[in-house]
């Protein structure tokens, strides 16, 4: 992969994460000029289930990226800051690989490679409310389509502390659901899980929240967490019954406000 393509992929990934969990920041005149991208970029660490449906957790690094402005060659300049109205943005997802050795209950199952998901999201903002829907195509471990529905409410607790929280729902096609929640006849014969075939539909419902604290005009601290309840074919999967329907995440991180160009 070329350096330019790597940079483009990084921007798409970051913008998707921003849409999924962040409140857009205000433009910073101190950055100067007229950059194509205005963003809070940083890094954090998050505790999350080892794999979808697991009851064991791992701590992994995660990127922080909240865009108030970004540019796409086809769509042109996009402003996602606090203005009311409709918006469109890239959407990104990622799953690490799942191995039979990750849990005793997975004995006999096949290894699932890491999956990258790329797509788009669209929504509308009105005052403190923002609703959105996203759809992504999977590459690698699964080749299905997935998406999310969400509603955020942004509440300033102080002049420096912002709370963003709201309900979430996720869905997936049968290809995606069978990859992570299905059990083939061969896998059932080789392990302890019963054969199970899934269909497409809603995967989970839950809530997500984030606290952001402005240390100064350029630096922010972030606390985030979520709870999702696996439902439908995902919740009834023998893989989940051996793990947990309740999926939690909790993370902390730091970000820095920057502006940059990518397509000039």
Bigger pLDDT: 84 or 218?
Answer: 218
- What average pLDDT does range 228-254 have in this prediction? 97
pLDDT over 70 (residue 147): yes
Tell me the C-alpha distance between 171 and 177, whole Å. 9
Nearest C-alpha neighbor of 136 from the set 13, 6, 246 = 13
According to the model, what pLDDT value does residue 46 have? 94
Please report, rounded to a whole number, the percentage of residues in the chain having pLDDT higher than 90: 64
Tell me the C-alpha distance between 13 and 16, whole Å. 5
Q: Are strands 57-72 and 246-260 parallel, antiparallel or unpaired?
A: unpaired
Bigger pLDDT: 2 or 142?
Answer: 142
Chain centroid, CA 262 distance in Å: 23
CB atoms within 10 A of CB 221: 17
CB atoms within 10 A of CB 251: 21
pLDDT over 70 (residue 1): no
CATH 2.60.120 fits 3-80+94-260, yes or no: no
Tell me the C-alpha distance between 66 and 182, whole Å. 35
| In the chain, domain spans | 3-80+94-260
Place of tokens 């797509």: 119
According to the model, what pLDDT value does residue 70 have? 66
- The pTM of the full predicted model, rounded to 2 decimals, is 0.80
Question: pLDDT tens digits, residue range 86-110?
Answer: 877 778 888 889 999 999 999 999 9
Mean pLDDT (the chain, rounded): 84
- What average pLDDT does range 187-199 have in this prediction? 95
According to the model, what pLDDT value does residue 93 have? 86
- What average pLDDT does range 233-248 have in this prediction? 96
- What average pLDDT does range 3-18 have in this prediction? 41
3-state secondary structure of 146: strand
CB atoms within 10 A of CB 45: 12
Bigger pLDDT: 54 or 40?
Answer: 54
Q: Which two tokens stand for residue 14?
A: 């970051």
Tell me the C-alpha distance between 59 and 251, whole Å. 9
Question: pLDDT tens digits, residue range 61-91?
Answer: 888 877 777 666 766 666 655 567 887 777 8
Output the CA–CA distances (angstroms, integers) from residue 144 to 31, 115, 141, 181, 264, in the order listed.
40, 10, 10, 13, 34
Question: Which of these ranges, 67-81, 160-174, 193-207, 249-263, has the smallest mean pLDDT?
Answer: 67-81
Read off the pLDDT band of 41 (50, 70, 90).
Answer: confident
Count Cα atoms within 13 angstroms, Cβ side, for 92: 20
Tell me the C-alpha distance between 141 and 120, whole Å. 20
pLDDT over 80 (residue 56): yes
Output the CA–CA distances (angstroms, integers) from residue 206 to 105, 141, 149, 167, in the order listed.
25, 24, 10, 6
Q: Are strands 161-172 and 201-214 parallel, antiparallel or unpaired?
A: antiparallel
Bigger pLDDT: 25 or 148?
Answer: 148
Please report, rounded to a whole number, the percentage of residues in the chain having pLDDT higher than 70: 80
Bigger pLDDT: 262 or 167?
Answer: 167
Residues contacting 260, CB < 8 A, separation 6+:
35, 36, 37, 39
Place of tokens 């993370």: 251
According to the model, what pLDDT value does residue 32 have? 52
pLDDT over 80 (residue 192): yes
């Amino acid at each position: 992969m070329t350096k330019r393509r790597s940079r483009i992929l990084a921007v798409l990934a970051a913008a998707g994460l921003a849409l999924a969990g962040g409140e857009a920041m205000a433009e910073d005149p101190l950055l100067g000029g007229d950059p194509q991208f205005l963003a809070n970029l940083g890094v954090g660490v998050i505790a999350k289930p080892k794999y979808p449906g697991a009851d064991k957790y791992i701590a992994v690094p995660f990127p922080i990226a909240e865009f108030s402005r970004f540019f796409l060659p086809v769509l042109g300049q996009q402003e996602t800051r606090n203005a009311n109205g409709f918006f469109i943005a890239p959407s990104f997802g990622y799953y690490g690989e799942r191995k039979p050795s990750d849990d005793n209950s997975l004995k006999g199952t096949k290894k699932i490679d890491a999956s990258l998901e790329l797509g788009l999201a669209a929504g509308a903002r009105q005052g403190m409310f923002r609703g959105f829907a996203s759809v992504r195509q999977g590459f690698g471990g699964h080749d299905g389509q997935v998406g999310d529905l969400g509603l955020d409410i942004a509440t300033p607790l102080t002049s420096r502390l912002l709370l963003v929280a709201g309900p979430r729902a996720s869905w997936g096609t049968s290809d995606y659901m069978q990859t992570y929640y299905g059990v083939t006849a061969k896998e059932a014969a080789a392990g302890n899980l019963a054969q199970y075939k899934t269909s497409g539909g809603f995967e989970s419902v839950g809530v997500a929240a984030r606290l952001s604290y402005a240390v100064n005009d350029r630096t922010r601290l972030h606390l985030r967490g979520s709870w999702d309840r696996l439902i439908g074919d995902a919740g009834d999967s023998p893989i989940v019954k051996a793990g947990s329907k309740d999926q939690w995440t909790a993370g902390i991180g730091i970000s820095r406000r920057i502006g940059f160009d990518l397509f000039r």
